[in-house]
Amino acid sequence: MDSQLSVVRDDGKEGRVRPPADPATLVHRDLLGGDWWRRIPAFAEVDEATFLDHRWQMKNTITRPEKLLAAVSGLASEAFLKDAAEGFRRAPMAVRVSPYMLSLIDWERPYEDPIRRQFIPTESTRLPDHPKLTFDSLGEQGDAPVPGLTHRYPDKALFLALDTCPVYCRFCTRSYAVGPDQEMVEKVSLKASPKRWEDIFAYVASRPELEDIVISGGDSWNLRASQIETLGDRLLGIPHVRRMRFASKGPAVMPQKVLSDDDWFRALVEVVKKGRAFGKDVMLHTHFNHPNEITEITRRAMQRLFSEGVHIRNQTVLQRGVNDDAQTQVLLARRCAWVNVHPYYVYQHDLVKGVEELRTTVATALELEKQVRGSTAGFNTPTFVVDAPGGGGKRDIHSYEHYDRTTGVSVYTAPSVKPGRFFLYFDPIDALPAEGQARWADRAQHQAMIDEALAAAGA
């Protein structure tokens, strides 16, 4: 039904005007403030100045399952705590949760909470891995001419500067390298060593086609100020490097660093300003997955960056039970924009082991893309993509050559990245119709389903 109203303008002609906005559509501006963290018993006596200190956040970041569960004892049920303890035992990622993140979880409803689902596993919700899952599903190591540098796209490379983060996400696509070894995986070492960095600088300098360098890891939030300066000086000093992007989940999980680590903040700002003086673009890419991650502290941190000319883009990972509905995605996009963070990508969840209950179908992403587009300005509307498994790079979610919603097999091509190859994505089996689930239950059918999809794509 048309909700617009007819009006007669001053020139006597009829015009159309939208009715007044429903206040409920403006909730993206309502940011959590106050001292909400005091509801956690372990933080009940923590004042604002302490909570905003990045050193306190780092010192009190929880890195042992038993310590995390003890911090919320009395808030969450004993049944949940036991469930989470067993979940940690079998998880591919170690536990590392900041006090900031811990305090944002609704501990009265932990199973449903979107932040808890991202950082704290539960054994009861665990699903069997899809048989086609691998630890390095994007094939980053295969496209690495030197350790820690992935050169896949013609003019862009990914510089994995270190292997630690301020928090560890369960769904990390680099669970093959990030964090300490776990029961189910021995990690590849990508420590921030000067020798390894020198090899990367030399490679980038030797390849004049490389204009765009993404600095990730691990997480650039964990780099020292001197390391930020080194990366900026060395990469901006290479004439053909025109763009740099520091990738970090830090603004979402520890925004206090921007407000209280002045050395790190000034180092980043100076690299941005130096880049601008050279006519080069330096940006910060971050990683908000849910509107609840954006608080009044976030706004203050993003404003400090924005006031110094640091532009920020957001990359979201689509996750079941976290952000796989249109209302959440629209609210996230608008709330990011409200704090001067541009929504950039929504990624189809990578084929990561140990987190099958977080993956969604490609069909889910297709529908969300339709719902989100038009809800806000185009430059604040994220593009929904799948990072094609096996090294095809990012493809628009709807650009598949073939998608079978029964078997959950989608086929993508990447003509500018790896021409002549097909790349396969697999929907989670439990989300398929009964016929598809039955075929995946029969190992003899696995290759047949793949062959059918490839034949259809080729046709």
Taking only the tens place, the pLDDT of each residue in 40-67 is: 999 999 999 999 999 999 999 988 888 8
Q: Does the pLDDT of residue 187 top 90, yes or no?
A: no
**Angstrom distance (rounded) from CA 229 to CA 215:** 13
Report the mean per-residue pLDDT for the chain: 91
- In this predicted structure, the answer to whether residue 181 has a pLDDT above a threshold of 80 is no
pLDDT tens per residue across span 328-351: 999 999 999 999 999 999 999 999
Q: How confident is the model at residue 174 (pLDDT cuts 50, 70, 90)?
A: low
- What is the Cα–Cα distance from 170 to 290, expressed in whole angstroms? 15
Torsion sign over Cα 367, 373, 376, 382: positive
Q: Which helix (H) or strand (E) holds 216?
A: strand 212-216
pTM to 2 decimals? 0.92
- End-to-end CA separation in angstroms for the chain: 42
| pLDDT at residue 183 greater than cutoff 50 | no
Q: Write out pLDDT tens, residues 400-417.
A: 999 999 999 999 999 999
The pLDDT of 3-29, averaged and rounded, is 78
Nearest to 62 by CA among 94, 20, 22: 94
| Reported CATH class of domain 149-394 | alpha beta
- Judged by average pLDDT, the poorest of 15-29, 179-193, 250-264, 351-365 is 179-193
How do the domains of the chain map onto residue ranges? 41-125, 149-394, 400-459
C-alpha span between 339 and 314 (Å, rounded)? 11
Helix extents (H) in 105-164: 114-119
CA-based torsion, 358, 363, 366, 372: positive or negative? negative
Instruction: Provide the 3-class DSSP secondary structure of residue 116.
Output: helix
pLDDT in tens, 254-309: 999 999 999 999 999 999 999 999 999 999 999 999 999 999 999 999 999 999 99
